[in-house]
Amino acid sequence: MADIVNLRSARKARARTEAEAKAAANRLLHGQSKAEKRILRDEAARQAAALDGARRETDEKGEDRN
């Protein structure tokens, strides 16, 4: 004979495993330490400064100034 399965507890167990899988994925995507966030922010600021420093000056019409 087959074992008797409580469908309610089976649904809850499946929901728990799905929630744990989703939490693990979110930890990979969003789980950065404060130091890692600071390093990424500083690197982005350095790149933005380098890009801004390489920008050519233009007049109101968008033409290069000599």
pTM value surpassing 0.75: no
SS3 label, residue 56 = coil
pLDDT by residue for the chain (66 residues), tens only, comes to: 788 889 999 999 999 999 999 999 988 888 888 898 899 999 999 999 999 888 877 777 766 665
Ramachandran quadrant class, 8 (left: phi over 0; alpha: psi -120 to 50; beta: rest): alpha
Beta-ladder partners of 64: 58
In a domain, 61, yes or no: no
CA–CA separation, 49 and 52 (whole Å): 5
In a domain, 20, yes or no: yes
CA–CA separation, 54 and 10 (whole Å): 61
In a domain, 22, yes or no: yes
In a domain, 49, yes or no: yes
Range of the domain at 15: 7-53
Structurally, the chain folds into a number of domains equal to: 1
In a domain, 13, yes or no: yes
In a domain, 44, yes or no: yes
In a domain, 60, yes or no: no
